[in-house]
Amino acid sequence: WKAFRFFDVAPINLNDADKSILEQGNVSCITASADQVFVGSPDGTLRLLNQSFKTVQSWKAHDSGALTTIRHIPHSSLLITLAEDLPNEPVLKVWALDRPDKKTGIPRCLCTVAVTNGRKPFPVSAFAVLRDLSQVAVGFANGAVTVVRGDFIHDRGTKQRTVLETDEPITGLEFREANVTTLFISTTSRISTLVISGKGQGQPARTLDEHGCAVGCLTKDLHSNDIIVARDDAVYAYNPRGRVASYAYEGPKKLTAMYKDYVLLVSPPKSMANAPTRSFGGGQADDLFSTSNFTILNPDLKLIAHTEALPSQVNALFSAWGQIYIVTLDGKVLRYTEKTFQQKLEVLYQREFFVLAINLAQKEKVDAVQQNLIFRKYGDYLYRKGDFDTAMQQYLRAIDNTEPSQIIRKFLDNQRIRNLIEYLEELHEHHKASSDHTTLLLNCYAKLKDVDKLEDFIKSPGDLKFDLDTAITMCRQGGYSDQAAFLARKHNEHGLVVDILIEDLKRYEEALAYIWRLEPEQAYDSLTKYGTVLLEHSEDTNQLFIDYFTGNFRPKKDAVVEQEVTTEQQQGGIGKMATSAVQNLAALIPLPYMSADVPRTPGGTKTTQQVIETTVEDEYVEYKVPKPRAAFSSFVDHPDEFILFLEACIASSGLQEEDKTDLYTTLFEMYLQIASKKTGDDKTKWESKARKLVEEQNVSNLTSIDLYREHCENARCSWGRRVVQCESSFCSLSLDAARISTISDGTTLVREQRGLYFDIFRSYTAANDTAGAIKALRKYGPEEPQLYPAALAYFTSTEEILSEASSELDSVLKKIDDDGLMAPLQVIQTLSQSKVATMGMVKTYLSRTIERERAEIASNRKLISSYRTDTAAKANEMETLASKPVSFSATRCSACGAPLDLPTVHFLCKHSFHERCLYVGAGDEDSDVECPKCANDNATVKAIKRAQEESADRHELFMDALGRSRDKFATVSEWFGRGVMGKATGVE
C-alpha cells in the first residue's frame, strides 16, 4: 500500500456546552443523515445537530434506558431509535421528523415496539433495517437474531421471529437487497447469510466464512452492494455466493465504514489491541487519552488515501454533507474533506506515481483529454529517465490531444528513428498526419532501408491514411518508383502511373500497354503528353494513335488465371519481378492489370491471380473522337509515322469538313517536305503522291500554296496567270487559279491565322471598303476590342462612310461604353475631330454615361461616410482602452475551455487564458505576448501595413501600374489610399 494525503483534516471549534454533549458519559450513540447529526444520550434524550454541531432540537425519546442505537432511513424523514434498560426488553421507536407534534413541537412517534429475545437479558450488539422500513433485524450478545416485520409507519402491528440462535455473540448485521433479500450475520467466529424474503426464504443460515469479525467491523458498500468485513489481517468483500475480494492490510480494527469507494478504518489503541473484551464491543474507560489510528483506504487502487494517529479514542465515525466526521471520546470533532481530482494528481505527480495517476483517472472516469494529459506527463517522465520505448507507448496513448511536433522533435534530436516511425505510423492510423508527417515517415523508412515496412504502409487496407500526392512524391524522390506506381494505380491516378513508368522507370513498353488498357478519356491525356517519347521507343505507338483518332480505340482486356504460389516465391519485394512488360506491370499495378494476392493459407502458400496478356479487346466504349490536329505535335521528328497517321485518318469514315482540310493540307505539305529531301526515283515518287493528292482534293491553304510555289521555284518552274506550268516533269501539273484562291484572300487568311485582326480591318478601311470593315468588326471585334475605337473614328470620317455605317454607330458606342474601351472625354475628342458627327448621334450615349457617373458619385459619398463613421468608432474605442479601466468577465480559458484559475492572463480583446496555455517563452517580455485568438488577424493587418510601407519606395511599381492603367487618376487615387505617398512609419 502506498500512502498519500488525499484528505484535508480540520477540527470543528465547539463551545463548552456543545462539546460537553459529545463527551464520554453524555453520549451513548451517534449517527448521521445527509444533512443532520443525531446524538443519543444515556438518559434517553435525542438531539439533532446542524453542520456546526450546534443543537437544533432535542427531546426525550425514551422514558427509561439508554438510547444505544439510531438509524436514519436514507432519502426520507424517518428515524429509528432503540433504547436498552436491562433486564427489560429493548424498545424500538419510529419517528417522523417532518411531522412535529402541534403541542410540543417534537417529531411524532409513529410506532413503538418492544423487541423480544426469549426474555434473556442480553444487550443489543447489532442492528439493521431495510430501506423501506418493512423489516428490522436486531442482534444480541447471546447469539440470537430477531427479525421484526410489519407496518412501522402506520403502526398496524408487527411480527417478531428469532431467525438465528448461536453460541457466539452477534457482532454485525447488514441487509443486502436485490431480487432476494439476504441478511448477512457476523459473529466472533463466522460470517453467515440468511434469506429473509424471496427464493430460498425459510432455509437455515448458510456459513460463508469460518472467520468472523469484531463489533463495528461489518458494513455495506452502497455502490457495489457488497458486504465489507474488516479483520486484523485484511479487508474482505462478500456477496451471497461468498467472498469476492480481499485486500491485505495488517493491524487490529475497531470500527469500519464506507465513504464513496473508500474503506474507513479505526484501529484501537495498542493497549486495547489484544483486550479480550474488544470482540464483544467492550472498552476500557480509563484509556481516554490513548491514541487511535484512523485510515482511509482505496482498495481498488491499493493506496492509503489518508492515515493519522488521533490523540484520543474514536467514539463515532460517520459521513454527512459530503465529508467524513470523527467524534472522539473527549468530545472533539474532526472533519475530513477530500481533495479535488486535480489536487490528487498534483500529489501523485510530485511523487512520480504516474501509473497510479492513470488508474485514478480511469476510475474517476474523467474525459479523454484529461487522461491524455496524464499519459503525456508520464511519457515526459520516462523520456527524461531514458526509457524511450515505454515513453513512446504513453505518447501513443495521448496522441489525440498532443501536438505531434513536440513529440517528433524529441525523438529526432535523439535519433530514435524506430520510435519515431512508431509514432508517425500511429498518427496516420488516427488520420492526424499532415503531408510533412508523411514525408518524414517515408524518409525514416528510406533511412533504415526498410522496404517491407514501406510496402506495408502504402498497401495498408481501408481508407487512405496519408496525403497521396506527398507519399507518391517521396517514393519517387527516394528511388522507390515501383511503390510509387503501386500507390498511383491503387488510387486510380492513371496519369501518375504513366509518368512514373516513363520518366522514372523508363519502361516504355509497359507504359504503352498500360495506356492501352485505360478508359478512352484517361488514355487521351497520357497519349498526347507522352506521344513523342513513346513514338521514339515503341513501334506500336503509331497504331495506338491511329486507333484512337479514327474512333476505333477499344481498351484491351486481360485474362486472369488463379495459381498457387509458395510464400518463398513471393518474397523479395516489388523490385524482383519478372522483366517482361506484362509481368512487370502486373507486379506493381492492381487489377485490372496486376497479380492480386489473397490471404496466405496455413500451409505457407497463397493463391494469386496471374494476369495473362491477350489480344482480346473489350467491348466498344463510346467516346468523343478528338480532332486529328491535336495529335500533330506528337509527330515532330517522326515524318514517316506522321504520314501513316494522316493517311489512316483520311481513310477513316465520319471526318468533318474542317478536319479534312487540315488532314489533306498537312499530308500535302508532308509529301512535299519528304520529296525535297529525296533524289531520283524517290523524289519522283513523293512528287507524284503530292500531285495526285492535289488533283483529287481541293487543297486551298495559302501556306501549302507558298510551299508548293517554293518547291516549284527550287525546281526552276515558272507560274502563269491562269495555268501553272513547269518544264520539269513534276510541274506539268496544271491547276485552275480559281481553285487555289486569290492572292488577296490568301493574304487575309494568313493574317487571320496569325491573329493580325487589326491589320485586316485596316486593309478594309484603307480601301474604303465600309462593308468589309463592318464585317471584319463583327467577326474580329470580340477578340480584338481595340477595333471599336478605330471603327468609331472611321465611321465618322466622311459623310459617305457615315451613311453606310450609321446603323453600326450606336452598337459601337454601346460596346465602347460597356467594356470601358474609351473614357467619355476620349469619345467626345474623337468625334470633335470629325466634321460630320453631330450631338444627336451621341445623345443617348452621353445621357447614359452621366447617369452612371452620378450614381457612382453618390455611392462613393456613402462609402466615404461609412469609412468616417467606422474610423471615429475605432478611435473612440482606442481612446477608451488607453484611458479607462476595462473589466473582464470571462470564466473559462479561451484556449483549453477549462475554468480560469490563477495565474490568469487577460487581453484587452476580452480573451482570457491560463498562463500555462499561452506557451510564453522564458525570455519573452509581457509586451511581446499577444492574444493567440487574435494573432492571425493581427498578423494579417500588420503584413498588409508592412507591404504598403515597403512599396512606398518602389517607384517602379507605381509607374508600371500607371502606365498600364486606362484611368490614370483612379490609379493615383488608389495608390494614395494605400498610404504609400505618406510618411513611412514602423509597424507596431
Domains in the chain, number: 4
Pair 13, 121 in one domain? yes
Asked, for residue 522, whether it belongs to a domain, the answer is no
Listed in sequence order, the DSSP H helices in 365-507 are 368-385, 388-397, 404-413, 417-429, 435-448, 451-458, 468-477, 481-490, 494-499
Per-residue pLDDT band for 753 (boundaries 50, 70, 90) equals low
Look at residues 784, 778, 793 and name the one whose alpha carbon lies nearest to residue 758: 784
Q: How far is CA 17 from CA 14, 54, 68, 96, in A?
A: 8, 9, 22, 27
Local structure of 824: helix, strand or coil: helix
Asked, for residue 374, whether it belongs to a domain, the answer is no
In the listed set 741, 769, 792, which residue is the last one of a domain according to the structure?
A: 741
- For residue 947, what pLDDT is reported? 77
- For residue 261, what pLDDT is reported? 93
Per-residue pLDDT band for 149 (boundaries 50, 70, 90) equals very high
- The rounded percent of the chain whose pLDDT value lies above 70 is 83
Q: Could you tell me the pTM of the whole model?
A: 0.57
User: 306 and 7 in contact (C-beta within 8 Å)?
Assistant: yes
Pair 672, 821 in one domain? no
Q: What is the pLDDT of residues 604-625, one digit of tens each?
A: 444 444 444 454 555 677 888 8
Q: How far is CA 187 from CA 89, 284, 926, in A?
A: 21, 22, 70
Pair 814, 904 in one domain? no
User: 405 and 413 in contact (C-beta within 8 Å)?
Assistant: no
User: 237 and 263 in contact (C-beta within 8 Å)?
Assistant: no
Per-residue pLDDT band for 749 (boundaries 50, 70, 90) equals low
Cell output for 283? 472498552
Where in 841-920 does DSSP place strands (E)? 904-906, 912-914
Tell how many helices (H) and how many strands (E) occur in the chain: 32, 36
Is residue 597's pLDDT more than 60?
no
**Lowest-confidence region among 277-286, 295-304, 437-446, 656-665:** 277-286
Listed in sequence order, the DSSP H helices in 619-679 are 639-651, 657-676
Amino acid identity, residue 393? Q
Where in 615-732 does DSSP place strands (E)? 718-719, 724-725
**Lowest-confidence region among 486-500, 608-622, 702-716, 728-742:** 728-742
User: 905 and 888 in contact (C-beta within 8 Å)?
Assistant: no
**Residue 722 vs residue 543, higher pLDDT:** 543
Can you tell me the mean pLDDT for 177-190? 94
Pair 175, 275 in one domain? yes
Pair 67, 91 in one domain? yes
Pair 891, 935 in one domain? yes
Q: What is the pLDDT of residues 566-586, one digit of tens each?
A: 444 443 433 333 233 333 444
Pair 733, 753 in one domain? no
In the listed set 339, 361, 380, which residue is the last one of a domain according to the structure?
A: 339
- For residue 748, what pLDDT is reported? 66
Asked, for residue 171, whether it belongs to a domain, the answer is yes
Is residue 437's pLDDT more than 60?
yes
Contacts of 472 (CB under 8 A, 6+ apart): 484, 487, 488, 493, 496
User: 312 and 272 in contact (C-beta within 8 Å)?
Assistant: no
Cell output for 902? 490563477
**Lowest-confidence region among 345-349, 421-425, 743-747, 798-802:** 743-747
- For residue 754, what pLDDT is reported? 64
Asked, for residue 332, whether it belongs to a domain, the answer is yes
How many residues can be counted in the chain? 988
Highest mean pLDDT out of 241-255, 270-284, 478-492: 241-255
Highest mean pLDDT out of 242-251, 480-489, 705-714, 920-929: 242-251
Pair 173, 54 in one domain? yes
Give the Cα separation of 435 and 404 in Å (integer).
13
Asked, for residue 788, whether it belongs to a domain, the answer is yes
**Lowest-confidence region among 135-144, 689-698, 898-907:** 689-698
Asked, for residue 296, whether it belongs to a domain, the answer is yes
Amino acid identity, residue 506? K
Q: What is the pLDDT of residues 6-58, one digit of tens each?
A: 999 999 999 888 888 998 889 999 999 999 999 999 999 999 999 999 999 99
In the listed set 285, 313, 339, which residue is the last one of a domain according to the structure?
A: 339
Domain of residue 235, residue span: 2-339
Contacts of 142 (CB under 8 A, 6+ apart): 117, 120, 122, 169
**Lowest-confidence region among 452-456, 656-660, 751-755:** 751-755
Q: Is the peptide bond before 87 cis (omega within 30 degrees of 0)?
A: yes
Mean pLDDT (the chain) is 81
Which of the 8 DSSP states describes residue 797?
A: S
Per-residue pLDDT band for 882 (boundaries 50, 70, 90) equals confident
Pair 204, 319 in one domain? yes
Supply φ then ψ for residue 859, to 5 degrees: -65, -40
**Lowest-confidence region among 130-134, 284-288, 653-657:** 284-288
Per-residue pLDDT band for 718 (boundaries 50, 70, 90) equals very low
Q: Any bridge partners for residue 7, and if so which?
A: 338
**Residue 111 vs residue 574, higher pLDDT:** 111
Pair 908, 953 in one domain? yes
Is residue 97's pLDDT more than 90?
yes
Amino acid identity, residue 90? P
Pair 758, 723 in one domain? no
Q: How far is CA 977 from CA 872, 948, 968, 971, in A?
A: 18, 10, 14, 10
What CATH number is attached to the domain comprising 200? 2.130.10.10
Pair 52, 180 in one domain? yes
Asked, for residue 623, whether it belongs to a domain, the answer is no
Asked, for residue 504, whether it belongs to a domain, the answer is no
